[in-house]
Structure 1
Amino acid sequence: MNYTDFKVAQDDKLTLYKAMLKPRMIEEKMLILLRQGKISKWFSGIGQEAISVGVASALSRDEYILPMHRNLGVFTTRKIPLYRLFAQWQGKASGFTQGRDRSFHFGTQDFKIVGMISHLGPQLGVADGIALAHKLKKEKKVTAVFTGEGATSEGDFHEALNVASVWDLPVLFCVENNGYGLSTPTNEQFRCENIADKGAGYGMESHIIDGNNILEVYFKVAHLVRDMRINPRPVLLEFKTFRMRGHEEASGTKYVPQELLDTWAKKDPLANYTKYLLGEKLLTEESIARYKANIQAEIDEHLRKASDEDAIVPNESKELNEVYQKIDFKEVKPISAVANIRLVDAISEGLRQSMKKFDNLVIMGQDVAEYGGVFKITDGFVNDFGKERVRNTPICESAIVAAAMGLSINGMKAVMEMQFADFASSGFNPIVNYLAKSYYRWGEKADVVIRMPCGGGVAAGPFHSQTNEAWFTKTPGLKVVYPAYPYDAKGLLATAIEDPNPVLFFEHKGLYRSLYQEVPVDYYTLPLGKASLLKQGDQITIVTYGAGVHWALETLENNPDIRADLLDLRSLQPLDTKAIYDSVVRTGKLIILQEDSLFGGIASDISAMVMENCFEYLDGPIKRVGSLETPIPFNSKLEQQYLAKSRFESDLRELIAY
């Protein structure tokens, strides 16, 4: 192994040695604890320490790193207190996830480390967002993100590289190619000779580095990041390496030919580097023993501290209260004149005023810049706020959701326009697994709003007409807002943008230009989780939202003899259960109307909650009205038959007569 080609200061050579020695010694201890049942799982990075240590050492302490399972060297090089790492792996409260997630599934703003999720790919897009924030703030910083050769087969890998290239983002994409994605060899993963070859497809600079040579890793990465800070651009690095143990310890290595293991054992990065330093007289056997003794003492001391910590005592209230970041909502009341505007105008106005209020707010989406979005919500925004803050994106929903999360991590706010709510399926993973869970897992907010143009009645067919709110109301950690009026839409959108939690903001396309209302001209907010009582009556409670509100109003106008409470939910998560229960207690009957198909929708949950909490007040069965159990069709007559509107009046009268 060649060390002489890389000019590194003598002191740095010793620092790199000690930085590699520490994770190796920690790992050896953890393998013992794993066999003793004192930790639950371990993903070994033995044989790959030079990559983690070299990259982390080359970056500044205030530059973000997004590591993976086998990057213990990143955490130790950043000097995270070992007892916190040990507590994390033991599921103790002083760990970074308070027992809510295991191993390396955590991050810490204090050390500028952003934790991974098991789906691997989305963190690449998060790195894009972090780097974009640096670029927008004119900070000369690089973001490094790790992944393995297996994850380069994921769509998120390609999306993230493409976005970084198009936007010239200073992201160091570090791929640790150890030859196997769990047990699947690279020849069953891709056909190109090297992963670095994939960079050319994105017009991206790429390099192959010997991942077992600490001086090569450190020297080349340090050189690159110095230049990337001055000339922002993404770089793809392929580190050739090998893991000497299984994907995780339970997997073993039986699928690896013994001769391959023997070959790579001779390339052990720590053993070879130790031999080199001994030859250079930078190390002696005595100094090695001294370094090991110091590290061992540190490990023992911190392990004692973590082990002596009491086990977590489950606290239901604490768990429930830490799914969302707390906000001190202060309602901003309108004080100016009103204007008669459409729903589409109210949303545009609310978004524009939020852009003025928050200079760290970025809008992203397909065609949102000069074109103004397919529904013209952001028409003219580029002239007012510039293309840096109103950003057209490639067609890659997953990477842009992840990039929005990265913007939030790095101190900004993001609004992403999902061109149609239907397309959220292409960004589903980062929404429900990253945005939704980050605060609960390691206390990291997701200051992201995803706008969701949705709904039928416009003959747009199965891929442009879904009202898919139930995909997200099921997921703790997400907020879901679904206004029916321009006044509500403007105020609730402003609140959603102020809220540091992830919000899915549903906008019914059929209401965009068909509905007018007097709306205050200036900025105002409305509380999430407060329903609106539109009509009062003592016969029955009607609970609905979105277009269903207008269907119900039309029905009541056509049937003036019906005395109904009409409750517009406005927000589905949080849900105003008190308003629902109070109304049901007064009227004794409940009908729930939703545009979504019936099974598994919000109506089912509301029905169940009322049965559990208000059963003794009911004078009849709860009735749910939803659309047919089919995809939404294109033909207008088929669509009318599909939609719940066609059945609501008869079901309403049937329940009243019960």
Structure 2
Amino acid sequence: MKIAKSLVGIEYHIENIDTSILVSLYKNMLKSRLIEEKMLILLRQGKISKWFSGIGQEAIAVGVTMALNSNEYILPMHRNLGVFTSREIPLNRLFGQWQGKASGFTKGRDRSFHFGTQQYKIIGMISHLGPQLGVADGIALASKLKNKNEVTAVFTGEGGTSEGDFHEALNVASVWQLPVLFCVENNGYGLSTPTSEQYNCENIADRGLGYGIESHIIDGNNIVEVYKKVSEVAQSVRENPRPILLEFKTFRMRGHEEASGVKYVPKELMETWAAKDPVLNFETFLKENDLLNNAENRSIKVEIIEEINKNLDIAFAEESIIPNEANELNDVYQEFDYKHFEYGGETKELRFIDAISESLKQSMKQHEDLVIMGQDIAEYGGAFKITDGFVGQFGKERVRNTPICESAIVETAMGLSIAGIKSIVEMQFADFVTSGFNPVVNYLAKSHYRWGQQADVVIRMPCGGGVAAGPFHSQTNEAWFTKTPGLKVIYPAFPYDAKGLLNTAINDPNPVLFFEHKGLYRSIRQEVPTDYYTLPFGKASVIREGDAITIISYGAAIHWALETLNNNPQISADLIDLRTLQPLDTETIYQSVRKTGKAIVLHEDSQFGGIASDISALIMEHCFESLDAPVKRVASMETPIPFASQLEDQYLSKNKFEKELKTLLEY
């Protein structure tokens, strides 16, 4: 066995490692260190706005990256510069990214390492830290489904292990035996908070036992140990897919970011870790063991410094971004080339719930790798039995029961999209999306705008009241999402629309929240084409035509409006079923209001901040001169939705509508 020690006693077991690899490990660490040192100078000069240092931790990023194959995904944090440089991303693009230039990966829309690149199989983090752990699960699941024998590596810090996403992601990976390396860089502090105040166990690796997964503790300052152990583990995982928790003991020699400083770290601790510097120790080792001479070392440093300066010149010379409103708006969504599928003449009467089920079934045939995920959706068929029988037809690989962890499953869906697989997530109830809110509004919604990555995910949202289910199973919470750029929000009221729009949602490469009022599931029937067909987004349906007033609504409230009109045949009204809330068919609204001169907007949600408020404002802005009365909003009470049926009846806007409609007609 070939073993040699550095000056501070770090043992480098270099047997079976070619000298060229040893030198490459050193060069990649050195490159990361020299870039960081240059960035600190530029920060002091005001030429970059912020820097998150990873000095002292270079061996982890470099060792893990070099242990993986170039086609395997890595999900680093904002201190893992060595991941990016070891994958040989052109430095001018990295520098452009940090300076907010167009050559960067986010076109100036995000900073630091908050980006991904399919070319280099790197998926960067968002500031919320935790979501990328579940995203790694999704990428690994895609690898497993496609039998690729690939491993996915994801990074987090010791502080990030306190987030719920960490626990959810490890649990999902364990249950599904996903080929993920969870790499935890434990440097003893989450910003200034020591690990003794972060968790109450000796090692983070000890948590692996609780999830039933293998774990290892690795000296994060020993580049050879990192490289060898991760290489060994990665190869094992390729052959036998499973998750592994890796805890790297290390220390960051600079603050959380430069303004933070390191005054919270005892001086003796800083000195101890400074002596374990991974770059300097390995440099000393290579020279003392005649694996690198002084002349070669000088040449390497000169070459790296020249590369840095040359690429900095390119980045600095690049013109600043010129704001272009059209460019910004056009990049919020992935371009969707809507393909219209027409149906034949055959129809059959379907309930709303049957139309949803039929759409899912036909879409599973239309897209051979489409995956459905949700709680109890496999053999049990889901809480509403919509996927009953799907396992027998499509198998458990594609119809997947999930643990109760909405956040990780939304993140897994995002990972599947990154790896090229469409997915549908069923929220058992729309109310439960709160447990996965962060990845919906911050990851799915923003990914395409930030770095051009589509989030090809549909989230099904059984929602709504009228069934005495109380505050946590009855909300209609579409307004949480209609105001979030990057999401599409669909809310059909009829079986025909539900089937056609859900098919379109699944075809659309953008994230879609698909609301299904559970009160309509078994109460509404309609003749529905038996063939597969699609309906376009952003096109409302005019159900009734008249000239006295415009009624605008969607979901179950459409049926309340219809009931009112049926009971009052003397009222001549345009009744507009919006069907899609984002995109919104404003033109149909405006045309109708300009004709009738009066508008009333009815929805089930409470009023303040609801979509009726925006529709009312749009009408006032665009149709003011045509109005003969103020725009009226009719919504439910400003309370949570209650359980007792008599209280729920009082809460819902259904019983207020007729009175408000007649009052407006008399204005």
TM-score category by the smaller chain? over 0.9
Q: 1:164 to 1:6 in 2, by over 3 A?
A: farther
SS of structure 1 residue aligned to 2:13? coil
Out of 198, 203, 212, the residue aligned to residue 207 of structure 2 is: 198
The equivalent position to 1:63 in structure 2, one of 59, 72, 97, is 72
The 5-angstrom pairing of residues 7-406 of structure 1 reads 7-406=16-415
Alignment-derived partner of residue 460 in structure 2? 451
Q: Is the 8 A contact 2:89 2:120 kept in 1?
A: yes
Aligned-pair distance for 1:336? Answer: 4.1
Q: Can you list the C-alpha shifts for 1:322-345, whole angstroms capped at 9, x where unaligned?
A: 100011112111114000000000
The Cα offsets for residues 16-61 of structure 1, whole Å up to 9 and x where unpaired, read as: 0111111111101111111111111100010000000000000000
For 1:9 and 1:419, the matched residues in 2 are separated by: 54
SS at the partner of 1:238?
strand
What's 1:467 paired with? 476
- Please report how far the alpha carbon of residue 6 of structure 1 lies from its aligned counterpart in structure 2 after TM superposition: 5.3
Deviation of residue 5 (structure 1)?
6.1
Deviation per residue, 1:378-424 (Å, 9 max, x gap): 00000000000000000000000000000000010000000000000
Give yes or no for contact 1:175–1:237 (8 Å, CA) kept in 2. yes
Give the 5 Å matches for 1:428-443. Answer: 428-443=437-452
Deviation at 1:4, TM superposition (A): 2.8
Which amino acid in structure 2 is aligned with residue 440 of structure 1? Answer: Y
Aligned pair in 2 of structure 1 residues 259, 519: CA closer, same or farther (>3 Å)?
same
Supply the distance in 2 between the matched residues of 1:6 and 1:517 (Cα, whole angstroms): 72
Give the SS at the match of 1:248. Answer: coil
The letter of the residue matching 2:37 is: E
Where does 1:562-641 land on structure 2 (aligned, <5 Å)?
562-641=571-650
Q: Which amino acid aligns with 2:60?
A: I
Amino acid corresponding to residue 265 of structure 1 in structure 2: A
Distance 1:144 1:528 in 2: 37
Give the letter for the 1:3 counterpart.
Answer: Y
SS at match of 1:341: strand
Aligned counterpart for 1:532 among listed residues 520, 533, 541: 541
Q: Distance in 2 between matches of 1:144 and 1:630?
A: 45
In structure 1, the residue matched to 2:489 is 480
How far apart, CA to CA, are the structure 1 residues paired with 2:50 and 2:525? 58
Aligned residue type for 2:267? Q
Is the deviation greater in 78-87 or in 4-13? 4-13
Matching residue's letter, 2:458: V
CA offsets 1:94-118 (integer angstroms, 9 cap, x no match):
1000000000000000000011001
Q: How has the CA–CA distance of structure 1 residues 460 and 291 changed in structure 2, closer, same or farther, with 3 Å as cutoff?
A: same
* Deviation of 1:474 (Å): 1.1
Report if the CA contact (8 A) 1:593-1:648 is conserved: yes
Secondary structure of the 1:54 match is helix
Other-structure match for 1:646: 655
Tell me which amino acid in the other structure corresponds to 2:508.
Answer: D
Q: Which amino acid aligns with 2:282?
A: Y
Equivalent residue letter for 1:77: S
Is the 2:13–2:225 contact (alpha carbons within 8 Å) kept by the matching residues of 1? no
For 2:432, the aligned partner's letter is F
Distance 1:19 1:500 in 2: 37
Aligned residue for 2:527, secondary structure, equals strand
Q: 2: distance between equivalents of 1:628 and 1:323?
A: 34
Structure 2: which amino acid aligns with 1:413?
K
Q: What CA deviation, in whole Å up to 9, does each residue of 1:261-284 have, x standing for no partner? A: 111000000000001001110111
CA distance in 2, matches of 1:455, 1:122: 28
Secondary structure in 1 aligned to 2:259? helix
Runs of at least 5 residues in structure 2 that lack an aligned partner in the other structure? 1-9
Specify which of 540, 544, 550 is matched with residue 541 of structure 1: 550
Q: Distance in 2 between matches of 1:171 and 1:14?
A: 28
Alignment match, 2:505? 496
Q: Encode CA deviations 1:604-631: one digit per residue, 9 max, x unaligned.
A: 0111111111111110001000000000
Q: Tell whether the 8 Å contact from 2:417 to 2:456 is kept in structure 1 after alignment.
A: yes
TM-score (norm. length: structure 1):
1.00
Structure 1 CA distance for aligned equivalents of residues 259 and 486 of structure 2: 32
Q: Which range is displaced more, 1-10 or 530-539?
A: 1-10
Shift of 1:519: 0.3
SS of 1:111's equivalent? coil
Aligned partner letter, 1:454 = C
Per-residue CA distance 1:451-488 (angstroms, 9 max, x = gap): 00000000000000000001111100000000000000
Tell me, in whole angstroms, the C-alpha distance in 2 between the residues paired with 1:453 and 1:8: 56
SS in 2 for 1:510: coil
* SS of 2:576 mapped into structure 1: strand
* Deviation of 1:315 (Å): 0.6
Q: Is the 8 A contact 1:589 1:622 kept in 2?
A: yes
C-alpha distance in structure 2 between counterparts of 1:593 and 1:70, whole Å: 50
The equivalent of 2:12 in structure 1 is 3
Alpha-carbon distance in 1 for matches of 2:398, 2:437: 24
Secondary structure of the equivalent of 2:185? strand
Equivalent position amino acid for 1:490 in 2: K
- The count of corresponding residues between Structure 1 and Structure 2 is 658
Superimposed CA distance per residue, residues 157-181 of structure 1 (whole angstroms, 9 cap, x where no aligned partner): 0000000000000000000001111
1:317 Cα deviation from its structure 2 partner = 1.1
> Identity percentage over the alignment?
72
Using the alignment, how far apart are the partners of 1:633 and 1:519 within structure 2? 34
Deviates more, 1:332-341 or 1:488-497: 332-341
> Is residue 2:573 matched to residue 1:560?
no
Whole-Å Cα distance in 1 between the matches of residues 418 and 294 of structure 2?
A: 45
Amino acid at match of 2:409: I
Q: Match of 2:433?
A: 424
AA at the equivalent of 1:526: L
> Which deviations, in whole Å up to 9, do the C-alpha atoms of 1:110-148 show, x marking residues without a partner?
000011001111100000000000000011000000000
Equivalent-residue separation in structure 2 for 1:426 and 1:464 (angstroms): 14
The 8 Å contact of residues 7 and 219 in structure 1, kept in 2 or not, is answered as no
TM-score normalised to the size of structure 2?
A: 0.98
The one-letter amino acid of 2:133's match is L
| Structure 1: unaligned runs, 5 residues or longer | none
Q: Deviations over 1:278-303 (max 9, x none)?
A: 11101111111100111111111111
* 1:506-527 per-position Cα deviation (integer Å, ceiling 9, x unaligned): 0000000000000000100000
Contact 1:67 1:146 survives alignment (8 Å): yes
Q: For 2:275 and 2:247, how far apart are their aligned partners in 1?
A: 21
- Encode CA deviations 1:63-122: one digit per residue, 9 max, x unaligned: 000000110000000000000000000000010000000000000000000110011111
Aligned partner letter, 1:407: L
- The whole-number CA distance in structure 2 between the counterparts of 1:272 and 1:302 is 28
Conserved? CA contact 2:139–2:419, under 8 Å: yes
User: Does the Cα contact within 8 Å between 1:6 and 1:219 map onto a contact in 2?
Assistant: no
